[in-house]
Structure 1
Amino acid sequence: MISYAECSARERLALIVDAGSFHEWLPPALKLTSPHLAQLGVPSSFDDGVAIGRARLAGQDVFVAAQEGQFMGGGVGEVHGAKLVGLFKRALRDRPQAVLLLAESGGVRLHEANAGLIAVSEVMRALLDVRAAGIPVLVLIGGTGGCFGGMGIVARCADHIIMSDIGRLAMSGPEVIEASHGVEEFDSRDRALVWRTTGGKHRWLTGDCDALVEDDITAFRQATIAALGQARPVTLAALEAEHARLSARLTFDGSEAVSLWTALGVPQAAKVPDLDVAGVSALGVH
């Protein structure tokens, strides 16, 4: 077993796709870095924190992108976002079997502020254009940094989300919530609370991700292969069903994930944090 969380972005790409099939666009030798960070005197990365390109998965053509959480928390800036937009736009032209996004990001890179915000909005538009063309977009989440902020929204725009039990997905990160509303609202140091509220088990039980896997590269690869070719058209009926599901959740008046699981009909909800992936999957409530 190889831990997905402990791998770098490029290591994940190399192990998820067919061996030796990844061809990177805008590779390290081009040193496409952020002009904004240089002006601020902040160290840059040779790829601005994201690798993009084409590959094969189970013999099928796919486009891929992987964010590097070790560089500025995977934050999205102008160049980082432009690379993702370019990937999606090329997918519209070349029509691969799927686009894979290995997401690990805290959201917009604060150093680039408005440029980062605009970049995230452009990524969302490009992703939805790809979905509208019938090309499925699959998001994999299992890095130690999680997937938050604007990238959390991007992930929920995709056809499928695959998460490990230690992956995290949310709009706002724990530290952001605590800083904005106080430790009484959310204690970011309470790691059990953080994972109950944003972790893979919670997202699977609430229908916010489509496959829950172990923190294992092979498990991620198998789940991704299983989702290939399964496009989910963005239709009015689908949007209305999603809005109805979320509206029902708004009626929940509790303050803890365990209470929400109970309200959703999860049996023995209090035991969920102690269950492994197989145990959670066996609950049969997804």
Structure 2
Amino acid sequence: MECQIHPSGPQLTCRTSPRHKPNYSSSSLVLPKSRIHKTTVVASQKNLDRQQPIPAPQLTESKVPRRDVYNIKFETLASCKLGISVYPDFEYNAERGSGSGMGTNRNTDSNESDGDIFVDFDLNTLYIPPLTTATTRFMGLPLPPFLRIDIAPEILRGSINQETGKVELEFKASFWFSVGKLYRAPPLLVGTVLTSEESEGTIRSGRGERLNGGGRCRLVGVAMVQPIDDFFMNSFLGLPTECFAELNAIISVSTK
């Protein structure tokens, strides 16, 4: 093959040999068999990985902590006590007081429970009788007919251990003092832990009793009562001061 270029300057001549002509025919585009085989194997392995994902490890049933659910019933009894400041205790008959709640416990990995049941009582079902002339005596005499102390629970929750009988219940309530229709004081807010063990303050103390086989127990608690917006009550009771509660009760536990 020969070509000539005719510019305005000297002529140039170029030649190419047929032997060096590039061959772009399809027969020359052949890959080695080993490379084709390798590419095919890799693509197949990727498809296999997408179709068969590795499952995540799962806990066996023996390693999953088990949660048990219980029905809890609370009933207050007679021969209870309530006291405030340095005054003698009120002798208080709390019969017909009651409440119900739901309890749970979480067993350990070995499916063995420590015995504690965590309970939260439903405030809609919780009732504690008021202190009246029919339920309460002070220094051996019934309360005057016109004097009344209503108890409005706000919290009752905690732990119950059926194995040891130990009870620890957080208790909060408002105590409303009234004298007929003539006088009604702002509520006294009381918060304590009712326990089957010992509760001790600065001027008040008491010891409870753990659950027996029939579910009976005695719970005690000492709390600090802060002043309220009422000069008469603050002066009469000497607020701030301690108050004391002792409740005889039956706590029943059953599985749901």
Question: Is the pair's TM-score, using the shorter chain for normalization, greater than 0.5?
Answer: no
Structure whose alpha-carbon radius of gyration is higher: 2
When you count helix as a share of all residues, which structure comes out higher?
A: 1
When you count strand as a share of all residues, which structure comes out higher?
A: 2
Question: Normalised by the shorter chain, which TM-score bucket?
Answer: under 0.3
In the superposition, the TM-score normalised over structure 2's length comes to 0.26
In the superposition, the TM-score normalised over structure 1's length comes to 0.24
